[in-house]
Amino acid sequence: MRVEPSQLVPGCMLLHDVKGKSNRAIIPKNTVLTEEHIMILEKFFITYVDVGSKLSDGKTFTPNIVQKKKESKKRVEPTNDVSKLSFADHYQFVVQSYKKLFTSWQNNIQVDMPAVRKLVMPLFERIDRDDADVFTLHQFNTKNDYMYHHSVSVSIIAAYLGKKMGFSSGDWIQIGFAGFLSDCGMAKVSPSILNKKTSLSVEEINELKNHPSYSYRMVEHIPTITQIVKLAILQHHERIDGSGYPFGLQKEKIHTYSRIIAVSDIYHAMTCDRLYQPKQSPFQVVEELSRVKYTDFDYQVVDTFTKSLANFSIGTKVRLSNGQAGEIVFVEDKFPTRPMIQLCQSEEILTLKNNTSIYIEEII
């Protein structure tokens, strides 16, 4: 029979695999469900599952009665008081507002810094109170609106990293502003390039690489933006080894703000579905960044990000790349993204540092 997760009881037997958005099995068929399985199904917002009419002990399965939620009659207008919104709703409001700003920039309207400040400061204040939402940003992304999500997310991640690295609140907020405006110059790139669903040609890639310069020109003469923020916007695609753009700068010639935005930018890009590239696990991306932290990026920024993302506590529930769910039972300092996991289904202990083909997909 087909039921909602809230109707399940321990002992139900799954008739089919339960798959997540990645089309991987979260829980395989023939699993006898426990309270933990049911919680996982609800956490993954699974709409319904197919289970047998009998429980594992042979008794008839009687589904729980669904408690209907009362619909709110009043709709909260985000422009009135964003502090009353959930983080997800607040974030989506800022993304849609950025989309409107971007359209205005495409129509040659100048960057309105007071409007930008008013829009993003409340989001930064949330980071100052609770930073747990930083590592869920990729989950909100959509392919068609990726560019708008990207700018908002980069601003949040960059501000967060600045805070974690010990910058004063005034400084990490400035880093966040630089992240928010780092891609404003994309408005000067041809829409046919921005919206292309296949790989870009060499000429198109070269045009896209002009966007840091375009962004800089859009903010160059705004007196309320500091010179350091303008520099960070211009340099955010430079790399420590000189392989970046637009100038191929190296090492100390790249400002610290720029280095922070560089890591924030590549992390969010790699964890999101884009028109021409699929997403990767946040933990997989951080491991890749760690492998090139002494060549491409500032190792201190990467290390700060790794420690923050992998700041696991014993008992944290995770979903692995092979579709299995488990609980963290031990974290080794040298391998922060590869802890020991006790699998939910078999209770087997899996040591991820010894199983390099498996990685943490998400925290549940």
Residues 328/315, Cβ–Cβ less than 8 Å: yes
Q: Assess whether pLDDT exceeds 60 at residue 257.
A: yes
Q: Assess whether pLDDT exceeds 90 at residue 283.
A: no
Q: Is residue 248 left, alpha or beta, with left meaning phi > 0 and alpha meaning psi from -120 to 50?
A: left
The pLDDT value recorded for residue 70 is: 41
Domains 2-50 and 85-309 share a fold: no
Mean pLDDT confidence for 333-350: 86
CATH number of the domain at 2-50, please? 3.90.105
Report d(CA 265, CA 263) in Å as an integer. 5
The pLDDT value recorded for residue 72 is: 38
pLDDT tens sequence across 47-105 = 888 888 888 888 888 888 765 444 333 343 444 577 788 888 999 999 999 999 999 99
Q: Where along the chain do its domains lie?
A: 2-50, 85-309, 317-363
The class (CATH top level) of 85-309 is mainly alpha
CB neighbours of 339 closer than 8 A, spacing ≥ 6? 310, 312, 328, 329, 330, 331, 332, 352
Q: Assess whether pLDDT exceeds 80 at residue 173.
A: yes
The pLDDT value recorded for residue 114 is: 93
DSSP class of 134 = G
pLDDT tens sequence across 11-27 = 988 888 887 655 566 78
Banded model confidence at residue 312, pLDDT cuts 50, 70, 90: low
The pLDDT value recorded for residue 63 is: 85
Most confidently modeled range among 38-47, 142-151, 227-236, 303-312: 227-236
In angstroms, the Cα distances linking 71 to 45, 48, 200, 203, 325 are 18, 21, 46, 52, 33
